[in-house]
Amino acid sequence: MHSSYILRRLLQIIPLFLAVMVVVFVLVHLIPGDPVSAILGDRATPDKVARANRELGLDKPLAVQFGLFVNQVLHGNLGESINLKVPVVRLILDRLPVTLFVDVYAAVLGVVMAVPLAVLAAVRRNTWIDGLIRAVFQVGLSLPVFYVALQLLTLLGARLGWFPIGGYGTTFSEHLYHLFLPALTLGLNLAAILVRTLRNSVIEVLTAEYVDFARAKGLRSRVIMTRHVLRNALIATVTLLGLNIGGLIGGAVITETVFAIPGVGKLMVDAIFGRDYPVIQGLTLTFAVLVSLVFLATDLIHARLDPRAELS
């Protein structure tokens, strides 16, 4: 059942992929400015601009350019960066691991913060502890990601010097150290979302009949919480976590720019400012595929946690 469902979901990515190609191609060409003028700068003359447009194929009608773009993508070729003169696929493969590392790091931090605090708020519901936890995370949820990033960078990086204000490191331990602040920035936002949902789920499960039956059997509170309460309460949270992974990928655009991290988020910002059409198109398609795969994984995990769920 799962294998046929996975195959069907993977096939559904194809029309989504085609739709994203159309949308991103149109939007990219609506960006004000012209990549050739951005490259040539003060050296731009009508002759040089015309020659560069011919070399890059930008003098062709948009329909022809789109056909060439689709043909390249179907052959596994995302083109060459206009500014960097490097294949787009190579750029993405070089920088994507950095972004994925930050996103996974942020997700782990978010879950580590959210689960114990949500359980504590649920167990102590309607007390000052519950109110404090909800208030703090509500404020955190209302703050923009870039503002949180700048505050963490200024306080923990520049003033206190506890963490570096940029870079990526070379070893795994250095990655954890250098990327803690950007991962914390995204993790705080994610935790604020998860705490509210998980708290409500835990409260709902705590009042269920099977939990009362487990208490009547004399099971210890820790066993009841881990085996019965958390397992069922996490079902909705896992789904919400999967849905917000796309937000982590989008948030990487901001955090990587603030913390000068060499990931695909910063690459996207640089490509937009440089009117680098092939890079923008390649990155957008990559983001679309990644988010689709995350949603698929979320559905499978949800079905694993909840046998009542049907994959259809």
Cα dihedral 76, 255, 238, 19 sign:
negative
Low-confidence ranges of the chain (pLDDT < 70): 1-2, 5, 31-50, 52-59, 208-215, 217-228, 230-231, 302-303, 305-312
For 270-299, the DSSP string reads HHHHTT-HHHHHHHHHHHHHHHHHHHHHHH
Task: Identify the pLDDT of residue 212.
Answer: 64
CB 62 within 8 A of CB 215: no
Rounded to the nearest 5 degrees, what angle is found at the Cα of 58, between the Cα atoms of 53 and 62? 155
pLDDT at 152: 85
If we measure between CA atoms, which residue out of 45, 22, 88 comes closest to residue 276? 88
Report DSSP letters for 1-55, one per residue: -HHHHHHHHHHHHHHHHHHHHHHHHHHHHHSSS-HHHHHHGGG--HHHHHHHHHH
> Residue 43: its pLDDT value, please?
60
The Cα-based distances of 49 to 31, 34, 41, 44 in angstroms read 18, 10, 10, 6
- The H or E element containing residue 210 is helix 209-216
pTM for this predicted structure: 0.78
**Predicted pLDDT at 198:** 83
Class of domain 93-305: mainly alpha
- pLDDT value at residue 123: 79
| Burial call 63-90: b when 16+ CB within 10 Å, e when fewer | eebbeebeebbeeeebbbbbbbeebbee
pLDDT of 265: 86
Predicted pLDDT of residue 35: 61
Q: What is the pLDDT of residue 293?
A: 81
Question: Which residues of the chain form CATH 1.10.3720.10?
Answer: 93-305
> Residue 279: what pLDDT?
86
